[in-house]
Amino acid sequence: MSMQDPVADMLTRIRNAQAMGIKTITMPYSNVKNDMLKVLQDEGYVGQYEVISNGNKKNISVELKYFQGRPVIDSIKRISKPSLRVYRGCNDLPTVRGGFGIVIVSTPKGVMSDRAARAQQVGGEVLCTVE
């Protein structure tokens, strides 16, 4: 059976693993997931991640971060879904927790955080919010 929304699957795997206190998770590879994990790593929400090749199949292994026994990510929510895409201009991008969280945006210049999108004056599809 094919996966309908791979990004939502990735976010759910992260959410479930952190609820259970799991340190490392593995998921199927895609370019969007790789770019989103790069943003999460740059912002300090996840640790190292690596692409693992098994023949013609690729997986991503992600190290989740915890601080004093609690997950670094309090909440991670999918905004734009396959059934309802959400697009915003650079001036209309939402803020999360007054700037303490991030919004991951897919722009024509690549996947980036809301701060980077505002700095480069580009908008795009709002993929998810992270607190």
Q: Does residue 1 lie within any of the structural domains?
A: no
Q: Does residue 54 lie within any of the structural domains?
A: yes
The CATH number for 98's domain is 3.30.1490.10
What stretches in the chain show pLDDT beneath 50?
Answer: none
The whole-number pLDDT of residue 2 equals 65
C-alpha 96/C-alpha 103 separation (Å) is 7
Q: Does residue 89 lie within any of the structural domains?
A: yes
In single-letter form, the type of residue at position 27 comes to M
Q: Does residue 123 lie within any of the structural domains?
A: yes
**0.85 surpassed by pTM:** yes
In order of 66, 74, 85, 125, 127, the CA distances from 5 in angstroms are 27, 22, 12, 15, 12
Q: Does residue 33 lie within any of the structural domains?
A: yes
What is the domain count for the chain?
1
Pairing of strands 87-88, 124-130: antiparallel
The boundaries of the domain holding residue 77 are 6-130
Q: Does residue 83 lie within any of the structural domains?
A: yes
The whole-number pLDDT of residue 39 equals 98
Q: Does residue 119 lie within any of the structural domains?
A: yes
